[in-house]
Amino acid sequence: MIKVGIIGATGYAGAELVRLLLGHREAEIVWYGSRSYVDERYAKIYQNMFQLVDAKCMEDNMEEMASKVDVIFTATPQGLCASLLNEDILKKVKIVDLSADFRIKDVKVYEKWYGIEHKAPQFIEEAIYGLCEVNREAVKKARIVANPGCYPTCSFLSVYPLVKEGLIEPNTLIIDAKSGTSGAGRGAKVDNLFCEVNENIKAYGVAGHRHTPEIEEQLSLAAKKEVVINFTPHLVPMQRGILVTAYASLTREVSYEELKAVYDRYYQDEYFVRVLEKDVCPQTRWVEGSNFVDVNFKIDKRTNRVIMMGAMDNLVKGAAGQAVQNMNLMFGCEEAEGLLMAPLFP
């Protein structure tokens, strides 16, 4: 059995890790880390775990945890993982970091967009960006995996085939994204109160959301040139889900059949990416609670542009599910182990 420790087990992403790993045949959670709830029973915090989890929460002590587990998930705010990590820990344990600490390769870009000093820049180059559909072989050999952000995962997978094939001009790309409130975490914030969110939709982080450089970096690698985009996220009154609608100019005239063949070629062997049938638009309700990403596209011949769409659960494929997928690759498990649940509906 893979012994698992979770730092930040009582946040939304941490709780989703617990839910998924309880159904994993080859993993066992032995450390539920939480600074806010030390010595409290986990099932008291999350009543859905009553009679499923008997453990109490423990301190977020990465040094001690590293001597007792095989892998540590850090489901924490930016900066914490980097502040705790050192070479002695990495000699003992593998790390899957759900924060942004090791996603961006340029430390100056990270510090500019996140507004904090990076505490472990020596590990940035080694860390593998854990988008399994693109970096699968590198993840298998990794000591540190930087689990991608939720918006970047859905955005990138929606547009990747056409960027990679040079069928769109990436610098014309506009990404409009909408997320449920769980993406903001479990902390108490006025903007996330029911009365603030219900019956409302709003843009935020306009022209400055911190996931922008992560999306641009990955698209630049795919396009083999620098890519600069417009990315605008929106908050919508639902608990889970991300919907991405992206627009870009085509580099030449193409048919539906040609673009469909491109998407099928890139994703035909990717279990968790579902290319939908013609004229079927992705919807968050059809991926909720699952590790699936539904993608599709529509050609607008009048403007010579293409609209690319994607939907996924921000807490599963956008966080915990992708983290488990990465762990499976790192330890030689079946990639879909613990992730075979069908989407929830209604």
User: Nearest CA to 14 among 50, 42, 51?
Assistant: 42
The CATH 3.40.50.720 portion of the chain extends over: 2-126
Q: Is the pLDDT of residue 326 over 90?
A: yes
- What is the per-residue pLDDT across 21-70, written as a single tens digit (0 to 9) for each? 999 999 999 999 999 999 999 999 999 999 999 999 999 999 999 999 99
pLDDT at 75: 98
Q: What is the pLDDT of residue 192?
A: 87
**Residue partners of 75: CB distance under 8 A and separation at least 6:** 6, 7, 8, 9, 11, 13, 14, 17, 98, 99, 319, 320, 323
Averaged pLDDT score across all residues of the chain: 97
- Averaged pLDDT for residues 142-169: 98
Given this model, what pLDDT does residue 187 score?
A: 84
Q: Which of 150, 154, 281, 333 is catalytic?
A: 150
d(CA 129, CA 139): 8
Pairing mode, strands 305-312 and 144-146: unpaired
151-314 has which CATH code? Answer: 3.30.360.10
Give the side-chain half-sphere CA count within 13 A for 235.
Answer: 19
Q: Please give the model's pTM, rounded to 2 decimal places.
A: 0.97
Residues across the chain: 346
What CA–CA distance (Å, rounded) separates 187 from 162?
38
* pLDDT tens-digit series, residues 272-288: 999 999 999 999 999 99
C-alpha dihedral (159, 163, 168, 174), degrees to nearest 10: 50
Q: Provide CATH 3.30.360.10 ranges for the chain.
A: 151-314
Q: CA-to-CA distance for 332 and 101, rounded, in angstroms?
A: 25
Q: How high is the pLDDT of residue 222?
A: 98
Q: Is 195 assigned a catalytic role?
A: no
CATH of domain 2-126: 3.40.50.720
Residue 117 binned pLDDT confidence (cut-offs 50, 70, 90): very high
How does 39-50 read in b/e, with b if 16+ C-beta sit within 10 Å? eebbbebbeebe
Of 58, 12, 54, 65, nearest in space to 35 by CA:
58
In order of 161, 261, 262, the CA distances from 268 in angstroms are 12, 10, 10
